[in-house]
Structure 1
C-alpha cells in the first residue's frame, strides 16, 4: 500500500488583533493576580506583624514597657473574689419567651447569660467553660477598662477556649456603670446567636435593665419578645439601656419625662429633663435614664412590638419622636482632667470603602486611612500620652466605633465643639459624612482593638489596634487555636 506524503502545515503568525487581545488580557489579569495575592491574610498572623506603625507625630518608641508581654498585664492573681461566677458556653436550642425556640448559643443554658452584679471595688472572677462550641469562645468585658490580659480578644490577648477547656478572668470592678459581656471569637456570629450578658457595677435599688438584642430578625428585651412588663422599683427607675446589636437604636419614654444620667458607664454632669425626644443608643453602647414611675411608662426600643412597660396598668404608646437628645450639648461642662491642646499624639482614623480583594475574595471592603486590612495603621502610644484622634467616615454607612480598654471624650462633631457635660464614651456612632474629634489619656498599657462594633463590618476588615510601645503578644490570629477575633 502506497501512502501519500503528508501535506505541510503552514503556521501563520498571530494576527495583530490577536496579539492586542492577548496583551490586553495579560494587562488586566496580571494586576488582578497581584492584588489577589497581596490580599491573602496569613493563616497564622501575629498582631505584631500587622500593618504599619503610626506614631501620631510623637517619638517612635521609648520602650517604656520593653519586654512586657500582654500575658503579664493581668488582674490580681491573689485574693478571694468578691464575685465568683462560672459560665458554661454551649451550642444548643433555647426558648425566646413570646416567640419560641431558637438554635444558637447559651451561657448556663440561657441567652442572655446570667446577669453579673458587682459593687465598685469588688474583685470579680469569671471562669468560662466551653462545653461544645466548636469554634471556641472568649469573653470580652465591653466598656470595662480591664487589664489587657483580661480583655478576652482571641488572637490578641488570649487564645480561643476550645471545647472541653476553660479560662479564668480576674479584674477589679473599678468604675461604676452599665456594661455588658460577649464573646470576641467569631463574634459576628456568636454574639448575634446568643453569647452575651449584662454586667452592672454598683447597682441601685431603682434599677431596671433593658438589654436589647436581635436574634435572627427577632428583636428582644432581656431575651424576651413583645411587650414585656416589670414592676416599678419605686417612684423613679434607673433604666439601664444596653444595645447589643450591630446598628444604632433610638429609645424614648412614653408617659413621662426623663433624664439621661449616664453614657457608657460615665455619669452625665447636671442632666436636664427631656420631653418629646428620643436618645440614640450606639451599637454596643449604654445609656442610663432616670424615669419617674408613679404611673405606668413605656420604654420605646427602636420601634416594633418589643417594648418595656414599667409599672401596672395601661401605659401610653407613641411613635418615635423626631427630635433627639444631642449629647454634644446636653448637661453642663466640667473639667476633663486632661488638656487636649497639649496632645502628645494626634491620629486620624479615616474610614472609607473600595472595591478589591480581601483574603482572596472580591468585593467592596472597608479601608482605614486608605489602607485595607491587615495592612492598616497601628496607633502607637506611650503610657501617659495625651492622645487626640479624628474619626472621619466617608464610607457610605454608619459605624459604631469601639476602642477597648479606654474611654474617650468627644471634643467636636463636624467642627462644632462640645459644650455640654463631658461626653465620655467607649462606643461612638459615626454616621456617613460625619467627623468626630476625640481625646483620651493612654493609661492602660497593652494591645487594644479599635474597631467597628457592627461586628460583620469588623469581620470584613474594619479593625486596627492601639499599641503601647514595648508591649508584645505571643498570640496569633488563626494558628492552631483557630483564633478569629471577629
Structure 2
C-alpha cells in the first residue's frame, strides 16, 4: 500500500513538473529568444522584403530570406564589438562585416566630394551642462557651443556644408543627424548604422551639399530619446541661391520642451521679430517634440508655402485655419503684414508664439481655429517627375501592437507587419527604383513616421487620392486607424532608418530600415562604442 502511495506521489510530482514546464516553457523561450547580443549589425536584423521584385540576396545584403521567413530566423550571429578608440577621424571600425560579394560597397564611401572645399564651415562643441532658460529656469541637459538650441546653421543651395562635431563632455557619446536633408549616407549621423558614436574627447566631421532650399534641423541620433529632449539640437536653414526680393523677412521658430517648459528658440513666452507694414514674412516653424502641434495666425491671413523643406505649388491664402505639424516636421508660412502697422501673432501650439511688428508687439492671443488645413487638397497639382502608379517596388508598413519580450523586457510592444523588433522587415531597393509604400496604423496610437535620406510624396489618405499640390514629406503623422500611400524614387544609396519620431516609441521597437542592394555597413549597434541610435 505504501509503495502504491509513493508511486502515486511521484506521478503527481511528474505531472506537476510537466504542467509547470508546459506553462512556463514558451514564455521562457520567448524571453531567451528576445535577448539582443552585445553587438549586432542592422544588416542581420529580421528579414529582407524586396517589394515584389525578383527575390534574391544581392551583393551586400545579409538579411536572411524574403517574405516566407520564420519568427526564429532573426539575429543569427553577433559581430565583434566596435572599437572607437585609437582611430583617425572618419575611419570606420573594422568589424561587423558579414560575408558579402566583392562588388559590395561600404556606406563609408558614400560621401560628398572629398576634394571640394567647404563653403560653410562650423565647429559644434557638445557639452553636458546646466543652463538656464530666459526665465531663469535651470535645465540639466546638453549644449552645442554653450547654448541650446545650438546655433542656426545657414547655407544656400549648392553650397558644401562642413560641420566638425567635438564631444567635450557628453558621456554616452554623440552624433548629429541632419533631419530632412538628403545627405550622403556616410553623413547621416546614426550611431551603429552610419558611424560610431563620438566619445568624449573625440570629433567627427560631416560634409554634405545643401541640395534643396528649405527648413531643416539637426539633432543627436545617439540615445536620441534622451539627448534630443535635453538639448542636443538646432536649426538648419537653406535658402535659394538668388537673393531674396526686397520687402521680405525671415524668422526661425524652433519649438522645444525643456522639462515641460515650452520654448521657441530656447525662450519661454513670445519671440518678437521686427516686420514692417506691407512686408512679407516667412516664419519657419520646426517641431522638435515627440508629438504633433498646431500653428495658426491671429491678425492677418497667411499662406502655407512649404512643408518639410519642400515648397508647395500655388498655395492659396487662408484665414481662421490651423496647420498641424507632426513631430520632426516643419511648416513655413508667409504672412503679409497689415499696411496700418498692426502687429501679427503666429501661435505655435498655444498662446505663445512669434509676434511680428514694427511699432507695437501688443496683440492679443486668439484660440485655435476649429478648422484645420487639409494638405490632401491644398494647392494645385504639378508634375512629380515620375509615375507612382507604375512602381518597381511596393511595400507595406503595417504598425500594430502586441504583448511579448523586447530584449528580455516584458511589455506590450509595437510591431511592423506583425513582427516585433528585431524581427522586422529590411526594405530592399535598387538605385533608380520607383518605390510605393502603404503605411497602415492599427496600433491604437498616432505615429510621426520619418524616413531618413529621402522625401516621399503623399498619394492618398484612407484611400482618398490627393488632389492638391504635391505634398512631399520626410515626417508624416499617421493617426490611429489611418492609412497613407506614399511614393518616391530611390536616388540616395545607403542604409536608412525608417522609424517613428516619437522617440520613446523608437526605443520600443518601432524602427525598420530601407537598404539599397549592394551597400554594407561596417558599424554595429552596441559594442565598445556604445552605439545606441534610439
**TM-score for both structures, normalised by structure 1:** 0.95
1:264-275 to structure 2, matched below 5 A, reads 264-275=308-319
Secondary structure of 1:421 counterpart: coil
- The question of 1:161 aligning with 2:198 is answered yes
Q: Counterpart in 2 of 1:42?
A: 37
- The question of 1:209 aligning with 2:252 is answered yes
1:7-26 to structure 2, matched below 5 A, reads 11=6, 13-14=8-9, 20-26=15-21
Q: Counterpart in 1 of 2:333?
A: 289
Does the CA contact (< 8 Å) of 2:355 and 2:361 recur in 1?
no
- Report deviation, 1:101: 1.4
- Report deviation, 1:98: 2.2
Does the CA contact (< 8 Å) of 2:272 and 2:361 recur in 1?
no
- Report deviation, 1:371: 0.5
Q: Counterpart in 1 of 2:269?
A: 226
Distance 2:270 2:321 in 1: 21
- The question of 1:124 aligning with 2:161 is answered yes
1:22-421 to structure 2, matched below 5 A, reads 22-61=17-56, 63=58, 66-202=103-239, 204=244, 205-232=248-275, 235-294=279-338, 295-303=342-350, 305-311=351-357, 312-421=360-469
Distance 1:99 1:254 in 2: 29
The 1:322/1:384 distance shift into structure 2, 3 A limit, reads: same
Does the CA contact (< 8 Å) of 1:255 and 1:316 recur in 2?
no
- Report deviation, 1:292: 1.8
Distance 1:317 1:477 in 2: 47
- Report deviation, 1:323: 1.1
Secondary structure of 1:23 counterpart: helix
Distance 1:366 1:62 in 2: 27
Secondary structure of 1:31 counterpart: helix
- Report deviation, 1:368: 0.3
- Report deviation, 1:233: 6.0
Secondary structure of 1:339 counterpart: coil
Distance 1:332 1:316 in 2: 34
- Report deviation, 1:25: 2.2
Structure 2 unaligned residues grouped into runs of 5+: 61-102
Q: What's the CA shift string for 1:396-441, capped at 9, x where partnerless?
A: 1110000000000000000000000000000000000000000000
The 1:372/1:233 distance shift into structure 2, 3 A limit, reads: farther
Distance 2:54 2:209 in 1: 32
Instruction: Identify the range of structure 1 (475-484 vs 97-106) with the bigger mean alpha-carbon deviation.
Output: 97-106
Structure 1 unaligned residues grouped into runs of 5+: 1-7
Q: What's the CA shift string for 1:124-169, capped at 9, x where partnerless?
A: 0000000010100000000000000010000000000000000000
Does the CA contact (< 8 Å) of 1:207 and 1:239 recur in 2?
yes
- Report deviation, 1:16: 6.8
Does the CA contact (< 8 Å) of 2:59 and 2:104 recur in 1?
no
Does the CA contact (< 8 Å) of 1:207 and 1:233 recur in 2?
no
Distance 1:30 1:293 in 2: 69
Does the CA contact (< 8 Å) of 1:448 and 1:465 recur in 2?
yes
Distance 2:215 2:272 in 1: 21
Q: CA RMSD in A?
A: 1.9
Distance 1:326 1:16 in 2: 69
What is the aligned residue count? 479
Secondary structure of 1:247 counterpart: coil
Distance 1:233 1:71 in 2: 48
Q: What's the CA shift string for 1:158-210, capped at 9, x where partnerless?
A: 00000000000011101000000000000000000000000000175511111
Distance 1:438 1:99 in 2: 45
- Report deviation, 1:315: 1.3
Q: 1:463 aligns with which of 511, 520, 525?
A: 511
Distance 1:313 1:167 in 2: 43
Q: 1:427 aligns with which of 444, 453, 475?
A: 475
Secondary structure of 1:30 counterpart: helix
Does the CA contact (< 8 Å) of 1:62 and 1:382 recur in 2?
no
- Report deviation, 1:79: 2.2
Distance 1:354 1:64 in 2: 34
Q: Counterpart in 2 of 1:3?
A: none
